[in-house]
Amino acid sequence: MAIANYLYLSAILFTIGAIGVVVRRNAIVVFMCIELMLNAANLAFVTFARINGNLDGQVVAFFTMVVAACEVVVGLAIIVTIYRSRRSASVDDASLLKL
């Protein structure tokens, strides 16, 4: 399989994730789309590491996965807080948490 195909796949996945973030209003779906975008970036990092023949892209992809895991923990905590107070997981309800 050609290396360029991995980059095409990465671009397609990133585009799908970006469209999902812009279009959707459910917080869970928005977080899934953000994770899709991060995985697309990881695929591009690993592909460029493979092209260059070094491990730098794989190290960056590992740290990106760590950041993504932390983002999920904090994001889901915020979503659960919004859901408990408003009984809705809509992104529009996030502004209602202001004091």
pLDDT digits (tens, 9 = 90+) for 56-78: 888 988 998 998 899 889 988 88
How does residue 23 score in pLDDT terms, banded at 50, 70 and 90?
very high
The contacts of residue 60 (CB under 8 Å, 6+ apart) are 45
Residue 53, Ramachandran bin (φ over 0: left; ψ between -120 and 50: alpha; else beta): left
Q: What SS3 state is found at 88?
A: coil
Angle at 56 between CA 53 and CA 57, to 5 degrees: 85
Q: Region 44-54: what's the mean pLDDT?
A: 90
**Domain spanning 25-86: CATH 1.10.287.3510:** yes
The residue among 6, 63, 4, 76 whose CA lies nearest residue 40 is: 6
Q: Where are the domains of the chain?
A: 25-86
